[in-house]
């Protein structure tokens, strides 16, 4: 019995020594998910997908078009039609996919870096609003006017050039970022103004004068720009492979003020 126990102990010691020589038994598969310091310095690349909400403000989006349609007319002079408060705010959900690439510099647990981030998808929306009024104009006419405004903002591509700052905690790298944003959008604005001018005392043929005016301004694949900011966390999984979760806010300044909030999940590799 003693010989069997001694043999078993010797076999266990020998097996432990051999296991120590095998790297995959020393924890290589869990190097990322550890409390030990992770080397985040270097170049990285990855892919991502996300969901988002586009918040757009269409207030006054077609004002300049309406003013051009009614320039030097009695309707505009008397009723100020182009300045009527048409439009408003709306929110639309969208989704997209894309990628990212960047570089991290590391000082102890402090991480600073730069990154280019890209998303392709469907963000934006459409709104239609209208208003009708009647008012007295010069020459004894009474104008009955309806002003319809339609605006569309569709962002298909958006990219941000960011500066990142983070703090490494084991396998986790929480970070914040800010930068400039560029986007490609289709922006379509239409103003439709119609109604009648009535004057029973006018000469025959001019007692009831209908009018119908419309114009559209379409900018396809139009470059829009703005700024971005957000928060995220990278989690090192194994040997340079990391998982990402992120929230980003982008604001584009254009004829239709647009804000896009997205939440994203990605997978990347640090070289």
How far is residue 41 from each of residues 27, 168, 181, 233, measured CA to CA in Å? 22, 11, 25, 15
Q: What is the pLDDT along the chain (271 residues), one digit of tens a residue?
A: 444 333 444 334 344 444 444 343 333 344 446 567 799 999 999 999 999 999 999 999 999 999 999 999 989 999 999 999 999 999 999 999 999 999 999 999 999 999 999 999 999 999 999 999 999 888 889 999 999 999 999 999 999 999 999 999 999 999 999 999 999 999 999 999 999 999 998 888 889 999 999 999 999 999 999 999 999 999 999 999 999 999 999 999 888 999 999 999 999 999 9
DSSP 203: P
Same structural domain, 49 and 111: yes
Same structural domain, 1 and 73: no
Same structural domain, 143 and 21: no
Residue 64: what pLDDT? 95
Counting the structural domains of the chain, the total is 2
Please say whether the beta carbons of 54 and 151 come within 8 A.
Answer: no
Same structural domain, 65 and 190: yes
Same structural domain, 77 and 1: no
Same structural domain, 24 and 118: no
Say how many Å lie between the first and final Cα of the chain, rounded.
55
DSSP 169: B
The CATH number of whichever domain residue 161 belongs to comes to 2.40.160.20
Range of the domain at 2: 1-30
Please say whether the beta carbons of 221 and 178 come within 8 A.
Answer: no
Same structural domain, 83 and 212: yes
Distance CA 123, CA 126 (A): 11
Same structural domain, 167 and 225: yes
Nearest 5°: CA angle at 254, between 253 and 260? 55
Please say whether the beta carbons of 37 and 171 come within 8 A.
Answer: no
Residue 205: what pLDDT? 84
How far is residue 84 from each of residues 61, 87, 100, 270, measured CA to CA in Å? 11, 9, 44, 55
Q: Is the pTM of this model over 0.85?
A: no
Same structural domain, 105 and 188: yes
Same structural domain, 23 and 43: no
Q: Tokens 């958006």 correspond to what residue?
A: 158
Residue 112: what pLDDT? 98
Residue 34: what pLDDT? 57
Closest alpha carbon to 150 in 187, 123, 189, 186? 189
Residue 1: what pLDDT? 40
Please say whether the beta carbons of 213 and 192 come within 8 A.
Answer: yes
Same structural domain, 141 and 248: yes
Closest alpha carbon to 160 in 116, 192, 206, 202? 116
Residue 27: what pLDDT? 39
Same structural domain, 10 and 134: no
């Amino acid at each position: 019995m003693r010989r069997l126990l001694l043999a078993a102990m010797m076999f266990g010691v020998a097996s432990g020594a051999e296991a120590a020589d095998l790297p995959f038994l020393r924890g290589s598969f869990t190097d990322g998910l550890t409390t030990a310091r992770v080397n985040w310095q270097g170049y990285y690349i990855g892919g991502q997908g996300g969901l988002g909400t586009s918040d757009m403000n269409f207030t006054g989006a077609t004002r300049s078009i309406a003013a051009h349609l009614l320039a030097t007319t009695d309707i505009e002079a008397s009723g100020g039609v182009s300045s009527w408060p048409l439009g408003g705010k709306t929110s639309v959900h969208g989704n997209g996919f894309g990628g990212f690439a960047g570089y991290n510099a590391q000082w102890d647990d402090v991480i600073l870096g730069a990154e280019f981030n890209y998303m392709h998808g469907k963000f934006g929306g459409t709104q239609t609003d209208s208003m009708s009024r009647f008012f007295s104009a010069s020459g004894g006419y009474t104008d009955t006017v309806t002003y319809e405004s339609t605006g569309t903002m569709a962002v298909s591509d958006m990219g941000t050039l960011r500066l990142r700052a983070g703090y490494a905690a084991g396998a986790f790298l929480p970070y914040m970022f800010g930068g400039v944003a560029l986007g490609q959008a289709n922006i379509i604005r239409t103003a439709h103004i119609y109604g009648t001018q009535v004057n029973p005392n006018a000469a025959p043929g001019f007692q009831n004068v209908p009018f119908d005016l419309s114009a559209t301004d379409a900018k396809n694949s139009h470059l829009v720009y703005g700024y971005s900011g957000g928060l995220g966390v990278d989690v090192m999984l194994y040997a340079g492979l990391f998982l990402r979760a992120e929230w980003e806010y982008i604001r584009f300044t254009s004829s239709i003020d647009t804000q896009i909030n997205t939440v994203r999940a990605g997978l990347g590799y640090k070289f």
